[in-house]
Structure 1
Amino acid sequence: MIEILLVVFVVLVVIAAWIYSWTFTAHGRIEFLPALICRAAALASRYGSPVTYSESDRASANASTVRLMNLPATPGVIVEDDQLELPDRTLQLRWYRPENVENCPVVLNIHGGAWWMGNDFIDDAVMRHLCHESGSIVLSVDYRLAPEHVYPAALEDCYQSLLYLIEQSPSRGGDAARLVLHGTSAGGGLAAGVCLLSLQRGGPAISMQALVVPVTDLSGQRSGESLQDFASGYVLTASDLSDMIDNYLPDVAARLQPLASPAYAENLHEFPPAFVATAQFDPLRDQGEDFADALKAAGVQVVSNGYPGTIHGFFGSKNVLRQCISDTAQAIRVMV
């Protein structure tokens, strides 16, 4: 009996050591849970059905993202659903408001999801925490998605939501002169694009942009080494990214337009101060870092934070996700 237990113990130790070895990579240590998620995603990609960008695929991806981004409840946040009626469409919106605040910053949140998923406010838990920690009113927009609606549909929806935020926030205790654009992944690129669009159209003055693991170059010409280093095996793959861009902006030449790829903007000196967050094991890491560096070189105030051991979206790293929210909230308090 003792011999059997000893064998079982040794086997379990070997298995645990083998699984733990997954955290060691050629590019450094990755956190344990993200390493497991990467292995599971690789198996799903190899043996599962390919993504077809259907409604069922979208719903499944949304549900998985909600589970990975789930955070403890946040007290003291008032949540209200809203609609923006436009001539040819209706946008679903969601307000997050701290209790008993006046003249606080206002934030337009643009969710991630590679332009094809992320609807139904999948980052609800994150926005509740950002609202609470920053003392800001947040408006999330459920913009139109690809492949049903290609560029620039999402950009226009976000810009119209920005105008609505300016119009409606004073009645909710917000100061429209303290305006923040917040976006994650594809939403980060859209946030920077809305900054540029507002400059072009003489729109609202934006006080700050908060870009979390942003996409800033759809052409891929300025993607850096991270796109090659983490092309596969880290959940978001280079192949997936290419397919998603094809769905969102089929016109290859248009991907060089600054509104689609803010990395090519020639007037970065006019952009507002920025907080830029990047993940270490992310094919988009260099896009975020290079955009932050370009803003700094143009004379823009920038706080850029890299979070070691993490994958795109900080999936599986809830403590890091919480830290990123806190860092973003701190940047809003300081910059706005």
Structure 2
Amino acid sequence: MSYNVDPELLPWLDMLPKVALPDYEALQAARSEQSQLADMMPPYEPTNPVDIRDVTVPGPSDSPDVPVRIYSPANREGLVPGLVYIHGGGFILGDLDTFHAHVLRIADELGIVVVSVDYRLAPEHPFPAPVEDCYAALKWTAEKADELGIDPARLGIGGESAGGGLTAGTVLMARDRGGPELCFQFLGIPEIDDRLTTESMTDYVDTPIWNRPNAIYSWTAYLGGEPGGDDVSPYAAPARATDLSGLPPTFVSTCQFDPLRDEGVEYARRLSHAGVPTELRLYPGTFHGSSLVASAAISVRMFEDEVEALRRGLKVTESP
């Protein structure tokens, strides 16, 4: 197909990562390239001092501890909002370093505490390991809120791509398991529906970076079998949840030429219908991962919208 991509993004198409995941060998190669890409990214220099430390927190029952990276404003006075951040990567890629600059910038611009989660990856660790790791990190963050300098009434969670899907699954777990209480969830271009039947998922077989073939491999690795079956948990694929009531206020972002577009739009519609305060943004001319072209005006707007959504959702009242 041909795609009416934003003119500022067009010159970069041949330079962006080529993600093709037909098998496990290709995945291993993609992981190696991901590490190289992270090393090549320019570092983000915060305008305010941010303390950064890596720790491990108790994992799910009979599972390893979960590594997390904590970003704290060095000069904070009193308690500030907190965000549990879950990185993207199709459930099979990504780590703390890959998304370090993005998370550091959020912590810096908002003056909040961010706990970034290094959950286990599929296919080595299929569902429920990744989402249970995220829930364990959320529970720990809530339990240690005072020690971390977090106002427990202003604790939110967010992530992008598979991180958005894991965010949605973790939030459903928190509701169904009696906590922790959350004031906000940010679902950036979320991967939430293993059934792969939406119009965008069916048609976008050759979009840049992420497309239907990659989505099929991603879900197969995460579920440990063929996607689209009858017994897939809504904690794995939140689009399957039949009850979306009682969830925190939500911001959902989607990209026009992204196979995940329609599932994000539909989830936002269903959240709204369930009485959840929900904001949806669909960015024209974009594709999954197009924000890697950080200088493009549409990418700048996407990040600004993310920061402002977090500012409102977490009730950030003071500038750092």
Q: Give the TM-score normalised by structure 2.
A: 0.86
Q: Is the 8 A contact 1:107 1:182 kept in 2?
A: yes
Say yes or no: does 1:145 pair with 2:121: yes
Q: Is the 8 A contact 1:96 1:128 kept in 2?
A: yes
Match of 2:142 in 1: 166
Say yes or no: does 1:134 pair with 2:110: yes
Compare the two structures and name the one with the higher helix fraction.
1
Task: Find the structure with the greater CA-based Rg.
Answer: 1
Match of 1:30 in 2: 6
Equivalence map 1:154-303=2 (5 Å): 154-221=130-197, 224-251=198-225, 252=227, 253=229, 256-303=232-279
Q: Distance in 1 between matches of 2:200 and 2:40?
A: 26
Q: Which amino acid aligns with 1:194?
A: T
Question: May I ask how many residue pairs the two structures share in their alignment?
Answer: 306
Q: Distance in 2 between matches of 1:249 and 1:30?
A: 34
Q: Is the 8 A contact 1:218 1:255 kept in 2?
A: no
Say yes or no: does 1:75 pair with 2:50: no
- Give RMSD over aligned pairs: 2.6
Q: Distance in 1 between matches of 2:201 and 2:215?
A: 10
Say yes or no: does 1:327 pair with 2:301: no
Q: Is the 8 A contact 2:34 2:98 kept in 1?
A: no
Q: Is the 8 A contact 2:92 2:123 kept in 1?
A: yes
Classify 1:49/1:41 alpha carbon distance in 2 versus 1 (closer, same or farther; 3 Å).
farther
Q: Is the 8 A contact 1:206 1:272 kept in 2?
A: yes
Q: Distance in 1 between matches of 2:231 and 2:98?
A: 27
Match of 1:98 in 2: 73
Q: Distance in 2 between matches of 1:171 and 1:115?
A: 30
Match of 2:36 in 1: 63
Deviation at 1:318, TM superposition (A): 0.6
Q: For 2:181, what is the secondary structure of its paired residue?
A: coil
Could you list the per-position Cα deviations for residues 286-336 of structure 1 after superposition, in whole angstroms to 9, with x for gaps in the alignment?
111111111111111112122222221234431444433322222222233
Classify 1:49/1:245 alpha carbon distance in 2 versus 1 (closer, same or farther; 3 Å).
closer
| Aligned residues with identical type, % of pairs | 32
Deviation at 1:249, TM superposition (A): 0.5
Q: Distance in 1 between matches of 2:89 and 2:177?
A: 27
Q: Is the 8 A contact 1:94 1:141 kept in 2?
A: yes
Q: Distance in 2 between matches of 1:126 and 1:226?
A: 27
Q: Give the TM-score normalised by structure 1.
A: 0.82
Q: Which runs of 4+ in 1 moved over 6 A?
A: none
Could you list the per-position Cα deviations for residues 211-251 of structure 1 after superposition, in whole angstroms to 9, with x for gaps in the alignment?
11101101223xx2222332214221211110111111024
Q: Is the 8 A contact 1:33 1:316 kept in 2?
A: no
Q: Which moved more, 1:26-35 or 1:304-313?
A: 26-35
Could you list the per-position Cα deviations for residues 111-158 of structure 1 after superposition, in whole angstroms to 9, with x for gaps in the alignment?
000111102431111101111222221000100001110000001000
Match of 1:114 in 2: 90
Could you list the per-position Cα deviations for residues 79-125 of structure 1 after superposition, in whole angstroms to 9, with x for gaps in the alignment?
11111144531221101112322321110001000111102431111
Q: Is the 8 A contact 1:106 1:178 kept in 2?
A: yes
The unaligned stretches of length 5 or more in structure 2 are 315-320
The unaligned stretches of length 5 or more in structure 1 are 1-24
Deviation at 1:35, TM superposition (A): 5.4
Q: Which moved more, 1:292-301 or 1:57-66?
A: 57-66
Q: Which amino acid aligns with 1:83?
A: T
Q: Distance in 1 between matches of 2:29 and 2:150?
A: 38
Q: Is the 8 A contact 1:81 1:94 kept in 2?
A: yes
Q: Is the 8 A contact 1:115 1:244 kept in 2?
A: yes
